[in-house]
Amino acid sequence: MTYLRNLIGACCIASLCFAITACSPKPEFKNIDITGGTAFGKDFSLLDPDGKVRTLADFRGKVVVMFFGYTQCPDVCPTTLTEMQQVMTLLGPQSDKVQVLFVTVDPERDTAAILKQYVPAFDARFLGLRPADQEALEQVTKDFKVYYKKVPGTSPGSYTMDHTAGSYAFDPNGNLRLYIKHAQGPETLAHDLKELLK
């Protein structure tokens, strides 16, 4: 009789848990939800401006927004970083739970010293990362399905870089959740990051 009572109790608890889970609202993202099943963007190994190797695990517990660009970019990159700075303002105290990472696709010119100066100029909490060498650049851009290509300029050092303009967002558990489209406005992005912080 006791066994039967325990079995019925366990079934009731399991049913209640299922009902609560089923009733939990699914996040309504304004960007592209790529939750689950993604065979890319699992991790990275990049250098910060102090030469320390950084991986996704270093930012566990925070929402991570990751953007690929270069410091001499004339439009997309400064626009994205400015927008992210505005997002941090909109998030208020929650912004301390968000880490913005700027990954250069131009390590030839974007030295550690330049990244250390350029990226935090938008927000002191933003972090610039660079691949250790060309092989590492090819690996991380392949892992995140990021396009980049050097476009020759009028002189050897005046080239530009074509590159993917979107960003990625990871939840606090390190799961890749969103592909963020370029230039949607800070309110839209702040909404999605709040959903990830819930």
Provide the annotated binding site for Cu cation.
73, 77, 163
| DSSP annotation of 183 | S
Q: Which residues pair with 150 in a beta bridge?
A: 161
Q: State how far the Cα of 188 lies from the Cα of 86, in Å rounded to an integer.
A: 11
186-197 and 76-91 helices cross at what angle (nearest 10)?
50
Residues annotated within a binding site: 73, 77, 163
Q: Where are the alpha helices (DSSP H) in 24-56?
A: none
Q: Are 170 and 179 in contact (CB under 8 A)?
A: no
What is the rounded CA–CA span in Å between residue 137 and residue 130? 8
